Amino acid sequence: MIRPDAPVLLEIDDLRASVEDQPILKGVSLTIRAGEIHAVMGRNGSGKSTLSKVLAGHPAYAVTGGRVRYRGEDLLALEPEERARTGLFLGFQYPVEIPGVSNLEFLRVATNARRACKGEEELDTFAFEDLVHERLKVVQMDPAFLERSVNEGFSGGEKKRNEILQMALLDPLVAILDETDSGLDIDALRIVAGGVNHLASADNATLLITHYQRLLDAITPDYVHVMASGRILRTGGKELALELEERGYDWVDAELAAADRAPVEVA
């Protein structure tokens, strides 16, 4: 939902980042307002996953230039946990397993950390169980998964559902979903996409990072950005995704070659 007067939640300006001294992001700019759904598409290695990790504060990535304003604040000055508490959410492409830490307890600690930041009272074990059982419905997840260790022994689809469950509990302002569709069968994709649609509102925003059109059949983006070689090459509406689907990424290479000859001003 595009409303030009909606407040800006995330403003990325000429962001540059490298990993192990290898530049990956080479000047990314992107503005996200409340109510919007953005999709960043691109080939493997285009830098789209790096963008999500940098925004969430992964320590392996070094920011080398640019800035990111989040709710008017300098996002890059915040610790990863502070970003999360203030409502930035990253749905991981490969959620890690954490043996020995109960999923239920983990969800409760995370939810309470977010609630404290919003000035809401901490939920005790019972109040939290009520909440989590209600939110489980959003992703049609079996409550038995709460009793296990975080993601331990979960299938790929179960891990992704657990991510969306966390999103449903943490009530994010900006949700970045990194390749949430990868490794999902049609049914799981439908459930996960249904969850994301259910959680999207006029007050929050979603940034989908994806490879394929099929996720965008289920979640309609307001903007589609094509990323290549660490930059956003082109921005358009949902039809841009369809164009990519039709023409493949080859034309991107041509534009990229042109861009390398004369560096493009990125809007």
> Interface residues with another protein (CB under 8 A)?
54, 56-63, 76-85, 89-90, 92, 95-96, 98-102, 105-106, 109-110, 113-114, 117, 149, 166, 170
Least Å distance, CB 10 to another protein, is 16
Least Å distance, CB 112 to another protein, is 9
Q: Are the CB atoms for 68 and 31 separated by under 8 Å?
A: no
Least Å distance, CB 54 to another protein, is 8
Could you please report the per-residue DSSP string of 151-217? TTT--HHHHHHHHHHHHHHH--SEEEEESTTTT--HHHHHHHHHHHHHH--TT-EEEEEES-THHHH
Q: What angle do CA 217, 219, 224 make, to 5 degrees?
A: 85
**Nearer residue to another protein within complex by CB, 68 or 252:** 68
**Nearer residue to another protein within complex by CB, 106 or 251:** 106
Helix axes 156-170 and 125-139, enclosed angle (nearest 10):
120
**Nearer residue to another protein within complex by CB, 58 or 211:** 58
Q: How far from each other are the two terminal CA atoms of the chain, in whole angstroms?
A: 21
Least Å distance, CB 203 to another protein, is 19
**Nearer residue to another protein within complex by CB, 96 or 254:** 96
Contacts of 204 (CB under 8 A, 6+ apart): 9, 34, 35, 87, 172, 173, 174, 175
The amino acid that residue 209 corresponds to is: I
Least Å distance, CB 85 to another protein, is 4
**Nearer residue to another protein within complex by CB, 167 or 191:** 167
Least Å distance, CB 58 to another protein, is 6
**Nearer residue to another protein within complex by CB, 111 or 213:** 111
Contacts of 8 (CB under 8 A, 6+ apart): 31, 32, 33, 69
